[in-house]
Structure 1
Amino acid sequence: MPDPDKAADLAEFIGLLGELRVWAGMPSYRTLARQAGPFMKPPRVVSPFTVVDAFKTGRRRLDLDLVVAIVRALGVDEDGVARWREACVKVHGLAKTGGPVGVFGQLPAELATFTGRDDELTRLIETATRRHGSGNARTVVISAIEGMAGVGKTQLAVRVAHELVRAGHFTDVQLHVNLRGFDPDVPAADPAAVLEAFLRQLGVPAQQIPVSREERAAMYRDRLRERGALILLDNAADEHQVRDLIPAGPTCLVLITSRRSLAGLDGVTPHLIGTFTDAESLDLLKRIAGRDRVTAEPDAATRIVEYCDRLPLALALTAARLRSRPAWSLAEHADRMQAGRLEAIRAGGRAIRPVFELSYRDLAGPLRRVFRLLGHHPGPDFTPAILAALADIPAHEAEVALEQLQDENLIRQNTPGRYELHDLLRAYAAELADADPEPDPTAPVARLATWAVATGYAAALAIGAPSLSGLPPEQAARPRRFAGYDEGLTWFENERQNLATIQNSAARAGLHRRVWQLASVQKEFCIVRNQFDDLLAAQQLAVVAARAAGDQAVEALMLSGLGSAYWRMDRLDEAEDSCLRALEIYRTVVDPSGEGSALIDYGTVQCQRGNHEHSVALFTQALGLLHGEDTHRARATALLNRGVLQQRLGRLTQAFADTHQALAIYRQLGYRRGEVLAIGNLAWFHLVGTDLDSAFDLYREQQHLALLLSDPFLQADALFGTGETHATAGHFDRARHAWQQALNLFEKIGHPRASVAQQRLDSTENEWPIPWTPTDWAAPQPTGRGEP
């Protein structure tokens, strides 16, 4: 009898379950379903298909009750059943936590109408399995599927991938990406961005992903070392784009599709794919349009194959149109094609556009408009909400339209709820949009930008951003509501690239107000997630837009935001210049509150330059200018920052007073992140003052609130301070434990304070510095313009 305790992951457990069935004499699935039913809780009829699914190695989870019932039905005694139950629970736990093996299945769905390609399938599978199964293999297996547009490269690659996984190969990891190598309007996918996405799929936290492409590639290769991984790189532009996306180990397979030859890629095996044979073309027509219908008109079917030049995409779209027109005869449709509308199909590589035109004409009027409008969307993918904004239709109509377009293979869905256009289809939709514009050509982009601002504003409030002047926009297009912090943060993470491209499109369309509003709504997210490159790009566009609109007050606000981005990136000269320009404008238009807020940023720059007394004076000056209901959060920031500097300058009483005032304001506003920072600062001040009991209490409170915010940095900060307090109290084992926990979190988010925690752990007890000695790396830092 197989031992379930040997299962290291879910795939191995399912394999052992199959061995148990062999041990029991290979009862049929129907018999096994009949015998397992009475063992279910409550007893019920079990479908044979349900039992079959339990033995498929590609599954992500199993029904525990069903597994136990199957094991009992296979004749295992109760002690053995208990072992199988425990093993099942264990492998599910490993999968849930990204355990030692984990399965990451990211392959697109197979088409039910996939036709032919028997020789190509055999050749590709033999190449993969021959080298993958060889004990002498030393390098990764790379197969490049090459051919013209519309020839079916992607669907062939997807079928090969699924066949291999079903056969038990490369079951640990499957990753997929569309590299957009030939998109006329959207740049090809950046390998660094693809590596980021792959690493996140492999369980690496966003904060831990390195910045440089080379470091990401190294981490990616490390994560796939000795794992059976299948990487599908679709629509590659050239060798350079895919080189860093190829793992190093012989246990991996890379399938690449491209219109270009990738022969210059080391170790690649090229597979040139041509058009269909006559038999394959007719078979595809039969599968989609109806076997009886095609068989009844063989001559007309042959004519259609000829007019489509045996190009799989052209054939599929033509057959789909026939399917939607059951009253048409094949001969009538062949006559239509003969009239010259598909002449370009017979021209070879440029043949695909007329096929798109046929598919487009076959859509209902409202759906044609939806498809045209997708040509206005600048981002890499879209959702029903994005389409609803573009087309100014209800969300449920957008969902129906997307499903219909997906049924016609005009869009595809690789991620639940998110859709994308193939690069050529995107170009075709853009042509249609340009040829039939709305009365106002900027209207679709304006609707999309308005939706992005309104929804982004709601998400920003959910993650703790302050109320922003001029937001939300007037007549916002159906903004989404957010239940809380995590939901708002997730929305920003999902729409990050779309927001950047929408802001750029709004800038090109001269929608100045939307440009600066989009910068404002993204600011809190960029700060929370340390996306300072994104913040800088957004604020630079915003400054230009505000200046073009001639709105000095907004220009000053955007300059302050630009300065904030610069000082966070340690570009202090540029930060100081932006802050001073903002201050000059605020003083010109006589806006004391704006001037006070700009002084906070300027004070932070001076602090980073080491001018602590000057910084204190600037924060004090800011406080004298900040009055009114809408300045409370800025006042709290100024007080929090001044408190930090008071402690550094040895004025502990003033530091406590400022920080307590800031904490009271944050609590009144309900701004939890500011509250956590203030509590952490107070804990540090108590530690400096050797009031260890108070320090312990406050660090515990800080850690609790940081956990509620799911903020690993604030959690690590609290743990590090707890370690310092334990060390001061002489509790050295407890100090090491706290520092180790802090180190783990700092390393998880890639924060430089990880090295400080490591130094603490590496040092001896006699080397630990007295904690109340001022240390720049350990003391709280000024937070800037109200967004800690």
Structure 2
Amino acid sequence: MGEQPMPDPDGAADLAGFIDLLGQLRAWAGMPSYRLLAKRVGSQMQGAVPLSTVVDVFKAERRRLDLDLVVAVVRALGADEPTVRRWRTACVRVHGEAKTGGTAGVLGQLPTDLVTFTGRRQELTRLIEAATRPRDDEGANTVVISAIEGMAGVGKTQLAIRAAHQLVRSGHFRDVQLHVNLRGFDAELPAADPSAILEAFLRQLGVPVRQIPATRDERAAMFRDRLRDRHALILLDNAADEDQVRDLIPASPTCLVLITSRRSLTALDNAAPHPLDVFTESESLDLLARIAGAERVAAEPAAAADIAEYCGHLPLAVSLAAARLRSRPAWTLRHLADKLRDGRLNAIHSGGRGLRPAFHLSYEELAEPLRRIFRLLGHHPGPDTTPAQLAALADITTDEAEDALEQLQDEHLVTQPTIGRYELHDLLRLLAVELAAAEPEPDPAAPLTRLATWCVATGYAAAVAINTPNLTGRAPETASFADYDEALTWFDRERNTLAAVQRAAAEAGLHDHVWQLAEARKHFFVLRRHLDEFRTAQQLAVAAARAAGDRRTQAAMIGALGGVYWMTGQLDESEDCCRQARRLHQELGDVRGEAAVLISHGVVHNQRGNHEGSVDLITQALDLLDGPDTLKLRAMALVNRAVVDKYGPGRRPRAVSELREALAIFRQCEDRHNEAFALGNIADFLLMDADLDTALTLYGEQRELGRQLGDAYIEAEALRGTGDVHAATDHTADARQAWSEALALYEQIDHPKAAEARQRLSRPDSEVYGFVRER
């Protein structure tokens, strides 16, 4: 044997390196002839081995070696059995890396472009334009870097490959095309070493192995030198982070670097981000048809749409579902859709490929504190979250929560469709729920309890800011709102979240949170005319109060439910609630509560046309109301009795007097909503009494209050009355203008009075005043 040391097979970074080391082993063995080696190898393998077969083992361009032949060659070169085993292990390793596109996965040509590539027209156009756009002198010395970013399975690699092929076919970057899978997210193999990638790139560029520098910095410098002024395209797929790719980027402005990553590579200088979202519905259906068959998809369009929806329009999920269909021709699309509906993550797989491993890799890459945050998002029942909500959920500060959400966004595990609001893709949400169940918090109920507590406290603060009347059991206000508009905007933004939290709290048995969440939102529901949601929330509140055995709260919640039924025209249900609530208040000795229910019951009677019964019930309520703490409730009773009194002969003077008394009380209590209603009712009476100037002034005040409060119904009522005054003075054009504006507002909130406004507008000018007189 020669004096040089035996080469170490563990030093083989890839298959080419392994073959080079085999050559060094032959040199170590004294350079035996290939003919001699063939004889030795044949004796081991019990048969003649052609000379050419042994020669081929040492050819650097080989892409695969026969393992048994390599073992025989190593033995023939004089290695002992432990050494032979090391060479055998190294041979298996480099073949495995080559197969997975590892450090030896640098190809002289681009990966195959899939014929099933679908959609992405805008994204592809943007990439091509960025790569080919003429640059001014200031940017002439900068390499073009496009970073395609997005969640696992969103199709980053296929988009990059399609863009690369399209560029090369159109005559760009014809000199060199390099590609490597950097294995930034790989379940079995570590992320590729940039230094090894540089070695492989340099060999691809024709640099002899012995001339490749030893250090990463030197290799990067040589790489940049070799690509100077060459039209090269470098595709760096599945990058782990900025550090992994930084030295793989040439310096020449004639080069293009396409990078794909699940992370946002924000620290990479001059890189233009190309965030990739999930498919549109049409793109999902197109991919499903391309793989599973257009005829099958066309035959079951509804099931196809469901499959796309259950896959969350994620390209990988859709392709896996489609491949499963293709391999099972007996299946209907509805059969698969039902399996996806029931199984989701478990059902989205085909052969050995599945969606769950791809997602789980992204999760495993997180540090444990961030993993906990991701798991806790599985406890959040709403459609999205905010830093404040996450802070409550995780029991951390708002700043810590915002930082965590931003990090998850950088990992493409959440998205931020609007400033300050973060969403999980449906399938990632399922993963978060599973992980939360698999690794529960010390107290599994604590996250939802904390979130519901935050929602209640903040909701009550917002309710106070929008002048919500008669709040029951007010919670501590841990938040504050600058003004009415800010509070109303908060309710608008958190509408879906609050509903989801209330449902989740009901399922978890958080009874107090359930009814308090209904209570905090009741005035908001009326303002925005979300009456169906109001009814649902209030039904949950009644059930929660009953389950808790809280009879006082139960009475209040049933009474409020009766009010919702009245607003939605369910008068029988409303009366039943009034009777139940009154009986509970009487049993509790709650005179004020009983009076409130009597007023509501009187309103229902008035709606039915039983005006005398209505007046009687409201009068009973007034008889029960005494003392300063009942002042606002008394004012409400006066308003409602006055409204009924318009139908009673000779009662109009009393009605106007009571309305003015109520108006003074509402102003004293700074209850602007009820002030607006009192103004409108007084104006209605003045209109009937032909005091038109005063009526017009009051309608104007009512409309201004409606604008300030953001209450479309109040503003519509003021416009309706304004139009009536104009009609009474024979200004029909002004009347129609006001009624048209009122109609638009009624329609905006889907209010039944829209029909009455249309009737007004449909009348000829000659009948307009008569119609108003009929009111």
Mark the CA change 1:593 to 1:417 in structure 2 (over 3 Å): closer, same or farther: same
* Aligned counterparts of 1:625 and 1:578: Cα–Cα separation in 2: 20
**Equivalents in 2 of 1:574, 1:429: separation in Å?**
41
Deviation by residue 1:82-104 (Cα, 9 ceiling, x = unmatched): xxxxxxxxxxxxxxxxxxxxxxx
**Aligned partner letter, 2:693:** D
Q: CA deviation at 1:116?
A: 8.6
Q: Does 1:580 align with 2:579?
A: yes
1:419 paired with 2:340, answer no
Distance 1:749 1:765 in 2: 28
1:450 aligns with 2:456: no
1:588 to partner: Cα distance: 0.7
382, 385, 391: which is aligned to 1:379?
382
Q: 1:365 aligns with which of 362, 365, 368?
A: 368
Q: RMSD of the TM alignment (CA)?
A: 3.9
1:152 to 143, 151, 154: 154
Deviations 1:165-212 (A, max 9, x none): xxxxxxxxxxxxxxxxxxxxxxxxxxxxxxxxxxxxxxxxxxxxxxxx
Which residue type is aligned with residue 417 of structure 1?
A: G
Q: Is the Cα contact below 8 Å between 2:472 and 2:519 reproduced in 1?
A: no
Indicate the residue corresponding to 1:440 in structure 2.
Answer: 443
Q: CA deviation at 1:295?
A: 0.7
**Do the aligned partners of residues 159 and 590 (structure 1) sit closer, same or farther apart at CA in structure 2, a change above 3 Å counting?**
farther
| Counterpart position of 2:739 | 739
| Aligned-partner residue type, residue 565 of structure 2 | Y
1:271-326 deviations in Å (ceiling 9; x for gaps): xxxxxxx957459889x978834614769xxxxxxxxxxxxxxx85x835996999
Between the aligned partners of 1:374 and 1:667, the Cα distance in structure 2 is: 45
Unpaired runs of 5+ in structure 2?
1-109, 126-150, 164-177, 202-236, 248-346
User: Aligned to 1:124, which of 119, 126, 133?
Assistant: 119
Q: Which residue of 1 aligns with 2:724?
A: 724
Query: Given that residues 616 and 642 in structure 1 are in contact (C-alpha distance below 8 angstroms), is that contact kept between their aligned partners in structure 2?
Result: yes
Q: CA deviation at 1:350?
A: 6.1
Q: Scaled by the length of structure 2, what TM-score is found?
A: 0.57
State the match for 1:402 in structure 2: 405
Residues of 2 paired with 1:396 and 1:747: CA distance?
42
CA distance 1:725–1:619, change in 2 (3 Å):
same
Kindly state the Cα deviation for residue 745 of structure 1 after the two structures are TM-superposed. Answer: 3.5
| Structure 2 CA distance for partners of 1:372 and 1:772, relative to 1, 3 Å | closer
Residue 540 of structure 1 deviates from its aligned partner by 1.1
| Larger-Rg structure | 2
Q: Relative CO higher for 1 or 2, CA cutoff 8 Å, sep ≥ 6?
A: 1
Where do residues 633-672 of structure 1 align in structure 2 (5 Å cutoff)? 633-650=632-649, 651-672=651-672
Residue of structure 2 equivalent to 1:607? 606
Which residue does 2:516 correspond to in 1? 517
Amino acid at match of 2:383: P
Which SS does the other structure have where 1:414 is aligned? strand
* Counterparts of 1:633 and 1:156, CA distance in 2: 67
Is the CA contact (8 Å cut-off) linking 1:690 and 1:772 kept in structure 2?
no
| Cα distance in 2 between the residues matched to 1:324 and 1:623 | 79
C-alpha deviation, 1:743, in angstroms: 3.4
1:454 is matched by which residue type in structure 2?
Answer: A
Matched with 2:675 is: 675
**Which residue number corresponds to residue 143 of structure 2?**
none
The whole-number CA distance in structure 2 between the counterparts of 1:159 and 1:598 is 70
1:691 is matched with: 691
Distance 1:751 1:577, change over 3 A: closer
- 1:319 equivalent in structure 2: 240
2-structure distance, mates of 1:547, 1:279: 66
For residues 671 and 392 of structure 2, the distance between their equivalents in structure 1, rounded to whole angstroms, comes to 31
Please list, as runs of the form range in 1=range in 2, the aligned pairs for 1:326-365 lying within 5 A after superposition.
Answer: 351-365=354-368
Distance 1:655 1:153 in 2: 70
Please tell me the residue identity of whatever aligns with 2:154: G
Distance 1:380 1:159 in 2: 34
2-structure distance, mates of 1:576, 1:280? 73
Query: 1:705-746 CA deviation, whole Å, 9 max, x = no partner?
Result: 222223333223222212222222233343333333333433
1:765 is displaced (CA, Å) by 3.8
Deviations 1:477-525 (A, max 9, x none): xx43222222222211221111111111111211111111011111111
DSSP 3-state at the match of 2:646:
helix
Q: Quick one: distance in 2 between partners of 1:284 and 1:354?
A: 14
Q: Does 1:487 align with 2:389?
A: no
Change (3 A) 1:293 1:592: farther
Mapped partners of 2:671, 2:366: distance in 1: 50
Alignment check: 8 A CA contact 2:113 2:161 kept: no
- On the 8 A contact 1:373/1:391 being kept in 2, the answer is yes
Compared CA separation, residues 742 and 385, structure 1 to 2 (3 A): same
8 Å Cα contact 2:185/2:362 also seen in 1: no
How far apart in 1 are the matches of 2:634 and 2:245?
65
How many Å separate the matches in 2 of 1:710 and 1:296? 63
State yes or no: 1:763 paired with 2:684: no
User: Structure 1, residues 611-635: CA drift from partner, whole Å, max 9, x if none?
Assistant: 1111111112122223455533322
Structure 2 CA distance for aligned equivalents of residues 750 and 632 of structure 1: 33
Secondary structure of the residue aligned to 2:417 is strand
Give the percent of matched residue pairs that are identical in Structure 1 and Structure 2: 49
Length, aligned pairs only: 490
CA drift of 1:747 comes to 4.0
Aligned amino acid, residue 295 of structure 1: I
SS of the aligned residue for 1:124 comes to coil
For 1:605 and 1:710, the matched residues in 2 are separated by: 27
> Is 1:598–2:597 an aligned residue pair?
yes
Cα 1:495–1:535 shift into 2, 3 Å: same
State the match for 1:295 in structure 2: 197
